[in-house]
Structure 1
Amino acid sequence: MAKEKITKKDPKKQLSGWLDYRSKENNPNNPKVSASLKKLQAERRHALLTRLGVIIFTSVCFILILGYFVSPKANVASVQIKGAPELNSSQIVKASGINSQDKVLGTFLKQKQYSQKLSAAFPEIESVKISTSHLNNVIFNIKEKKVIGYISEKDNHYRKILANGKVGSQTLSAKEIDKQKPIFIGYNKRASLKEDLDIYSKLPVKVQNQIKVMSGETNRPTQIIFVMNDNNVVIGNTSTIASKIKYYEKIKNQLKQPSVIDLEIGAFSRPLSNDEKNRLRIAP
């Protein structure tokens, strides 16, 4: 059997190619290696500068915010009232409890509390939203409740009757009221006013828009009196007026002068007396 011939290889010669390749890769004079190192250094420098910039920016913002809060600019300088022309602005500010030592940010955080406090103090106010101008000038934007009409008081003055049946806190002159809303006269008891308001709310809108006066000066608790825009007077029963008012248009078209239209029991009319005209504030 022939012996297998064994060829000897020099290990150094075998490794020389690999060692030459590694030495080239690690050689700083190698253009590829230099480019990679520069790119890596640039990325690290950029990341460092970015982190440093964020830290500086955050610190400056914190210092500015802190400086603002400890300065007088953070305090409430003035309070302006918008949306409630008939209400007394000074009384609103006083009722809110806000003062010059309060922080502007604090007023925003307590917005709901201010709204509840002012709504309790002034029946006319439904809600309050707070805004600012020039950093520390606080504005109370007031939304008022819907006005149904006006209740007459002494010396030709009036108060608003609100959608929830409450009476407004402010006294108004005849020039300040909305002439398109009905006036309620002769209502000294709030219970009587509430009952007639309930009846008024159940009338058709077309009829509501024709009523200029509602009188509480009735002969009986179950009686109700309307003065219409055409100066006709409608008398009805509190339990049936909502269903009988539909006959008003037909009856009035047959009249030649302002009259009393009685719908309490049947349906008939008669001319107005001078005393009734004066009592119900109907111009001659």
Structure 2
Amino acid sequence: MRAIITNRYGGPETLEFAETDDPKVSPDQVLVRVKAAGVNPVDWKIVAGHLDPIMYVHFPLVPGWDVAGVVEAVGLDTPEFSVGDEVFGYVRKDEVQHGTYAELVAAPVRTLARKPASLDWRQAAGVPLAGLMALQSLRRVGVSKGDTVLVHAAAGGVGSFAVQIAVAMGARVIGTASERNHDYLRSLGAEPVTYGDGHRLIERVRQLAPEGVDAAVDNVGGDAVAASQDLLKDPSRLASIVDPGVTQRGGHHVWVRPDSADLAELAELADAGKLKVHIDRALPLAEAAEAFRLSQSGKTRGKLVLEVG
């Protein structure tokens, strides 16, 4: 098969588009013919060596954890799926080596669910990691109907899903973003405020919510954590996906988990018209290095994906 491969830690320049062996399929896995692979910041962080302290990483390495595709073969004990099923998933394994930037990926059944019928391949591939991160973060801080929720970096991949899922939960959402993304946030159901500037951000949010907010999801880190806790009625109802230090403030650091049931819930939201997927750019698999550069810029709206099939 053809895949994106790197043989060493480094930047986008280390990526090669090359032939490699087809993956073996373990008993609890299915072989997925990849149609599209989502691009997430963690992908280039893995290649840069940032996850080396916490996960085993092996070379040659195929990056990528998000996938949408068709089941081509099944393992010895995989009653959940059959050949021909259209699936999507967050294919994070215990060790990092055989990722989704490839024509084929062996995916544990616990990492997959059936693809939402309403989404095309690119859109489906953009959902898993960011959608699960948003859903699991909102659950961690107990968001429910009637809450006012603050979402930082609300126009990004995780943020745009967090806005929509919180709205579907019946919450009022205030989202931080640059002014160029304010109309986009309104289209998702959020009330936008300009991000950054610490105390000024607090003032801008209090203009919309004078009594503060009930819960907050941080996708930025830094000043956003301190600002959120100043605004929260209960400082423990803060989740951050980027700042482990949030736990020292009584909040929650969320590291997304693969979960078939959660993926199925995201699919239901999409098919009900409550979860839209904005694709900022779709590039051919061979242009994965450019996708890394775009992700590193921090200026994408919604999701980046690689088209494979």
Q: Which band: TM-score by shorter chain? A: under 0.3
More relative contact order in 1 or in 2 (CA 8 Å, sep 6+)?
2
Larger relative helix fraction: 1
Query: Which structure would you say has the larger Rg?
Result: 1
